[in-house]
């Protein structure tokens, strides 16, 4: 149970520890289970503490763990500076009593020194919680009196602190009152989404205008796979164009820094068709064994490739993503057995078929669902209106398209792009065309899912598509005269 301060001295000590600093780091800290650690301490005020709890929880659900919780308030200046140096994105939470803490001010100077010395490495995002940015920038109101109090014992440092506050007050950030009219939950949601999108902007381009990835990361609880003493496997499945590859790239960009070596094998099916399995085995080993001479990776056969992967993967905690795998031979040649990998390694596999992932003993399988109505509208507007609010006369047409597409990301992007800057008459004409013949690009992507079915699955699919669309499953089973198990095996996997 938390104890209340019993004296003015204790109260001042608590305020001194109330550092309004949040460091989003891509580096390893002492806590092995965290994959993206931060330091969040938002102050002594009750409302600020509540905000810290909400922000901590919201970020954690997205796979971002808060470094510096309540049990880490005593870490001190040295460890705070270390956390700052090892971070990429630093969020400073300004409150009305921020300037009363000398440690907060010292940290702010350190943060801005890092930003100035290595501009490309650090980003600083201020949050103005219960104070106007102009108060911070101009050292007025509570900041004026706090700095006056410091001058008696820290005269030399006060001038540095004033410069740092002025610079920080001019940085682009978030103002609680102006952003969401003081609504904390909505405010935190906006911030955490921007953080998540920033963090997934890693070494692999995940695409522009990503929508809904944060919510899907919450479902996966990625933190459970960090710091483990075993090899974990994750499967991501869904129909063509639903966003499996984009999501796998986002996961890779979030987590790659926490492994000794990583490899992202994109579009395995197509790569094998064009270049063969040996090519992919060589790429995998080349990514993992950066320090090995290329001449030592001369693989003559798939069998030799398997032997080399089993030998070279040992002793390294690796992160491997195999994207769009559709054949057991592909999986067996690249990650056929968990014994190939050292404890703490993580293997992510994407496939259109859930059953394929289960058959290859993938530990946890996540299905990518279509976007919900809010997400679908947001994504469509990004392409059809370039984020601008649609004019009233286009809303009905937009609603018809959203209903037709039913949350499919690729279709939303493709159709939205084709309608950008078009007249209302052209929109209506395009909608009529969609009713009679689908977009060629969308048809090609979805056709790959159909082509992957066997003859029996294709017959069932066509029967349902032509005669039973929208009917209840039990009714369809009875009419088609197939069992529940047959239905589950032949339809749910596709």
CATH number at residue 357: 3.40.50.300
How much is the pLDDT for 44? 34
How much is the pLDDT for 298? 82
How much is the pLDDT for 335? 93
- Asked if residue 3 is part of any domain, the answer here is no
> Does 225 lie in the same domain as 344?
yes
How much is the pLDDT for 49? 57
> Does 357 lie in the same domain as 384?
no
d(CA 267, CA 211): 22
> Does 189 lie in the same domain as 126?
yes
> Does 185 lie in the same domain as 226?
no
Strands (E), 283-375: 318-322, 346-351, 364-367
> Does 222 lie in the same domain as 170?
no
d(CA 428, CA 273): 40
The answer to whether 151 is a known catalytic residue is: no
Closest among 202, 132, 135, 137 to 174, alpha carbons compared: 132
The secondary structure element, H or E, covering residue 257 is none
- Asked if residue 26 is part of any domain, the answer here is yes
pLDDT tens digit string along 395-423? 999 999 998 888 888 889 888 988 898 99
> Does 378 lie in the same domain as 353?
no
- Asked if residue 141 is part of any domain, the answer here is yes
How much is the pLDDT for 234? 93
- Asked if residue 95 is part of any domain, the answer here is yes
pLDDT tens digit string along 319-345? 999 999 989 999 999 998 989 999 999
Query: Structural domain of residue 288, as residue ranges?
Result: 212-363
How much is the pLDDT for 459? 77
Could you give the number of structural domains in the chain? Answer: 4
State how far Cα 309 lies from the chain centre.
29
How much is the pLDDT for 190? 80
- Asked if residue 446 is part of any domain, the answer here is no
Residue found by looking up tokens 């996966």 in the block: 220
Q: Which of 363, 391, 414 is the last residue of a domain?
A: 363
> Does 381 lie in the same domain as 478?
no
Catalytic residue among 107, 123, 141, 194: 107
Take residue 393 and report the two structure tokens written for it.
Answer: 């006369």
> Does 385 lie in the same domain as 359?
no
Q: At what angle do helices 328-335 and 302-312 cross, to 10 degrees?
A: 40
- Asked if residue 200 is part of any domain, the answer here is no
Residue 492 DSSP code: I
What sections of 181-301 are H helices per DSSP?
A: 184-199, 213-220, 244-255, 268-275, 277-288
How much is the pLDDT for 460? 75
> Does 409 lie in the same domain as 293?
no
pLDDT tens digit string along 186-203? 787 787 777 766 665 557
> Does 276 lie in the same domain as 128?
no
> Does 234 lie in the same domain as 184?
no
Q: Which of 363, 388, 406 is the last residue of a domain?
A: 363
Q: Which of 363, 391, 418 is the last residue of a domain?
A: 363
> Does 466 lie in the same domain as 386?
no
- Asked if residue 35 is part of any domain, the answer here is yes
- Asked if residue 201 is part of any domain, the answer here is no
Closest among 96, 92, 98 to 80, alpha carbons compared: 92
Give DSSP secondary structure letters for 435-466: HHS--HHHHHHHHHHHHTS-HHHHHHHHHHHH
pLDDT per residue rounded down to tens, the chain (494 residues): 444 443 333 333 333 333 344 444 333 222 222 233 343 333 334 445 555 666 666 666 665 655 544 444 444 567 778 878 877 778 888 988 899 988 889 989 999 998 888 766 777 889 898 899 999 999 999 999 999 999 988 888 999 999 999 999 999 888 887 877 767 777 877 877 777 666 655 577 776 667 877 777 777 877 778 778 899 999 999 988 888 998 899 888 878 878 888 999 999 999 999 999 999 999 999 888 876 655 567 888 999 999 999 988 888 899 999 999 989 999 999 998 989 999 999 999 999 888 899 998 899 999 998 999 999 999 999 999 886 778 888 999 999 999 888 888 888 988 898 889 899 999 988 888 877 766 666 666 666 666 666 777 777 777 777 777 777 777 777 777 655 555 555 555 44
Sheet of 123-128, strands arranged across: 21-25, 87-94, 123-128, 174-175
pTM for the predicted model, two decimal places: 0.61
pLDDT tens digit string along 415-452? 898 889 899 999 988 888 877 766 666 666 666 666 66
């Amino acid at each position: 149970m938390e104890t209340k301060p019993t004296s003015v001295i204790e109260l001042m000590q608590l305020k001194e520890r109330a550092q309004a600093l949040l460091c989003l780091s891509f580096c390893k800290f002492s806590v092995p289970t965290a994959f993206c650690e931060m330091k969040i301490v938002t102050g002594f005020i009750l409302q600020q503490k509540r905000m810290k709890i909400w922000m901590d929880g919201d970020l954690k659900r997205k796979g971002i763990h808060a470094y510096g919780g309540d049990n880490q308030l005593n870490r001190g200046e040295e460890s705070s500076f270390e956390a700052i140096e090892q971070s990429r994105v630093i969020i400073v939470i300004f409150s009305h009593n921020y300037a009363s803490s000398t440690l907060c001010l010292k940290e702010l100077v350190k943060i801005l020194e890092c930003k100035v010395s290595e501009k490309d490495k650090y980003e600083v995002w201020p949050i103005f919680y219960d104070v106007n940015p102009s108060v911070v920038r101009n050292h007025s109101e509570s900041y004026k009196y706090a700095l006056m109090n410091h001058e008696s014992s820290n005269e030399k440092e006060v001038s540095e602190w004033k410069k740092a506050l002025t610079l920080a007050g001019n940085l682009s950030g978030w103002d609680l009152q102006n952003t969401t009219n003081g609504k904390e939950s909505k405010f935190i949601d906006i911030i955490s989404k921007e953080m998540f999108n920033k963090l997934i902007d890693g070494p692999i381009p995940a695409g522009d205008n990503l929508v809904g990835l944060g919510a899907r990361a919450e479902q996966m609880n990625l933190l459970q796979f960090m710091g483990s003493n075993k090899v974990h496997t994750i499967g991501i499945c869904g129909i063509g164009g639903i966003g499996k590859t984009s999501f796998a790239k986002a996961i890779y960009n979030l987590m790659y820094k926490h492994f000794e070596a990583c490899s992202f094998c994109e579009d395995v099916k197509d790569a094998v068709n064009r270049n063969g399995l040996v090519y992919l085995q060589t790429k995998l080993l080349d990514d993992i064994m950066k320090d090995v001479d290329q001449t030592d990776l001369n693989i003559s056969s798939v069998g030799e490739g398997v032997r080399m992967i089993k030998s070279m993967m040992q002793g390294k905690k690796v992160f491997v993503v195999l994207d769009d795998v559709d054949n057991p031979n592909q999986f067996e040649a690249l990650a056929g057995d968990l014994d190939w990998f050292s404890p703490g390694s993580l293997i992510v596999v994407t496939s259109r078929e859930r059953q394929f992932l289960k058959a290859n003993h993938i530990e946890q399988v996540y299905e990518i669902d279509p976007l919900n109505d809010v997400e679908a509208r947001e994504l469509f507007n990004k392409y059809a209106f370039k984020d601008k609010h649609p004019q009233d006369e286009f809303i009905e047409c937009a609603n018809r398209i959203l209903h037709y597409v039913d949350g499919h990301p690729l279709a939303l992007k493709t159709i939205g792009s084709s309608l950008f800057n078009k007249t209302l008459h052209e929109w209506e004409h395009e909608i009529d065309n969609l009713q009679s013949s689908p977009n060629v690009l969308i048809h090609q992507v979805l056709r790959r899912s159909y082509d992957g079915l066997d003859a029996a699955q294709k017959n069932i699919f066509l029967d349902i598509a032509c005669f039973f669309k929208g009917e209840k499953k039990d009714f369809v089973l009875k009419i088609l005269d197939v069992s529940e198990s047959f239905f589950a095996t032949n339809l749910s996997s596709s």
